[in-house]
């Protein structure tokens, strides 16, 4: 287990100077709670969780500080490091071992490092992420997607959207509605999309079978590993589906 570091203002006189790890030039003052970090990352990585962050800490990819009372605190530089790790997993399908090696090379200046884009960090960061965490309803999704409520309701009726007993839709609802609306312009109706939803649910069941042993461990690292593995498998299955569809479409041409 990688212990969280204790915050200090800088090296003591006479201590050997070590290169600043990546990302350079970004504040390393730990002013953010774990909830602030989740909010800051939520717009890009909606499924990141407390257990995922703690798992990445266990793997030595991030090193939040510990307050005297034992709470974890993160800096804007920690958030950028997390964003890099999560993006490499999602976009490049890299295992954590390879990502950790890349970060070490970037820290040592042995590998070109990306320049983080300017982002809102600090106390106001969570407010920027709130739209991705809002509670969606049929009415609010219809307004956000610029469609009729009747169309959103048809997606619910067709099983393409899941509505809770309290009338709430999940965070992906706006994307589903916008995409379905574009398909409807070409005559592809919600009823035609049912097999896609069924196939997606079966893929989720397949991932669940693989990660279930890790989730049953009932420990922070176990749940974090389950979340990380589930995310990786989900991306691979989605990529395979995309490859098959694109190949088939190419053959149509």
Domain coordinates in residue numbering, the chain:
34-131, 134-188, 192-253
Give the Cβ contact number of residue 191 at 10 Å. 12
Domains 34-131 and 134-188 share a fold: yes
Beta-bridge partner residues of 163: 169
Whether the pLDDT of residue 165 is over 50: the answer is: yes
The CATH number corresponding to 134-188 among 1.10.1660.10, 3.30.70.60, 3.20.20.70, 3.40.50.1370 equals 1.10.1660.10
Contact 39, 130 (CB under 8 A): yes
- Alpha-carbon distance values, 37 to 68, 120, 130 (Å): 20, 12, 12
pTM for the whole structure: 0.56
Give the Cβ contact number of residue 20 at 10 Å. 13
| Residue from 141, 201, 150, 192 nearest 171 by CA | 141
Give per-residue pLDDT as tens, 226-246.
Answer: 877 887 788 788 888 888 988
Residues 21-43: what's their mean pLDDT?
Answer: 90
Looking at mean pLDDT, say which of 45-49, 160-164, 214-218, 229-233 comes out highest: 160-164
Tell me the CATH architecture of domain 34-131.
Orthogonal Bundle (1.10)
Structure tokens at 131: 């739209």
Give per-residue pLDDT as tens, 64-118.
Answer: 999 888 889 999 999 999 999 998 887 777 788 889 999 999 999 888 877 765 4
């Amino acid at each position: 287990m990688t212990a969280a570091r204790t915050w200090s203002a800088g090296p003591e006189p006479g201590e050997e100077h070590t290169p600043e790890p990546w990302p350079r030039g970004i504040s390393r003052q730990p002013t953010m709670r774990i909830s602030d970090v989740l909010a800051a990352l939520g717009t890009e990585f909606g499924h990141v969780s407390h257990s995922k962050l703690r798992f990445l800490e266990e793997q030595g990819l991030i090193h939040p500080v510990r307050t005297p009372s034992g709470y974890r605190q993160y800096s804007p530089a920690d958030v950028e490091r997390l964003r890099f790790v999560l993006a490499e997993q999602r976009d490049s399908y890299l295992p954590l071992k390879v990502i950790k090696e890349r970060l070490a090379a970037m820290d040592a200046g042995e590998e070109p490092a990306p320049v983080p884009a300017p982002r809102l960090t600090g106390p106001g960061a969570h407010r920027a992420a709130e739209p991705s965490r809002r509670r969606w309803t049929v009415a609010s999704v219809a307004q956000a997607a610029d469609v009729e409520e009747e169309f959103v309701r048809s997606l619910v009726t067709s099983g393409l959207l899941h509505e809770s007993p309290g009338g709430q839709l999940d965070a992906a609802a706006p994307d589903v509605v916008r995409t379905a609306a574009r398909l409807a312009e070409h005559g592809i109706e919600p009823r035609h999309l049912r097999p896609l939803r069924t196939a997606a649910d079966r893929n989720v069941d397949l991932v669940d079978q693989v990660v279930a042993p890790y989730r049953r461990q009932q420990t922070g690292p176990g749940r974090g590993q389950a979340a990380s593995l589930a995310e990786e498998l989900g991306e691979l299955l989605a990529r395979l589906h995309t490859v098959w569809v694109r190949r088939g479409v190419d053959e149509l041409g």
